[in-house]
Amino acid sequence: MGRLFRRNYDVFAAPLEDTTLLLNTDTGTYHGLNPVATRIWELLAEPTDEELLVRQLSNEFEITPEDCLREVTVFLNELRERKLLVDA
């Protein structure tokens, strides 16, 4: 198992039509998630790693594991940069 990630506990999520709206209370910034990003956010409710995310997502969506890994890696990096994701 690789490095584990989890949601930042200072981030609150709320569904809004076809998106999920995140509020980082530390920074006071809002972020919108599309349905796939929302699914990743749901999976991050418990500490997980990239491998588990890729396996789950490639089973749920029509995407190859290689493409999924590439997309998940980019998204996780964006979450980290925005302080929405932390190491577990």
* Within-domain flag for 88: no
pLDDT digits (tens, 9 = 90+) for 42-69: 999 999 999 999 999 999 999 999 999 9
Which whole number is the average pLDDT over 68-78? 96
Phi, psi of 4 (to 5 degrees): -90, 145
Residue 9 belongs to domain with CATH number: 3.90.930
* Within-domain flag for 48: yes
Domain enclosing residue 40, as ranges: 5-83
Tokens at 48, concatenated: 């997980």
Which whole number is the average pLDDT over 70-86? 96
What is the number of structural domains in the chain?
1
Element (H, E) at 12: strand 11-16
pLDDT digits (tens, 9 = 90+) for 1-31: 688 999 999 999 999 998 999 999 999 999 9
Name, in order, each residue with C-beta under 8 angstroms of 37's C-beta and a sequence gap of 6 or more.
Answer: 20, 75
The pTM of this model reads: 0.92
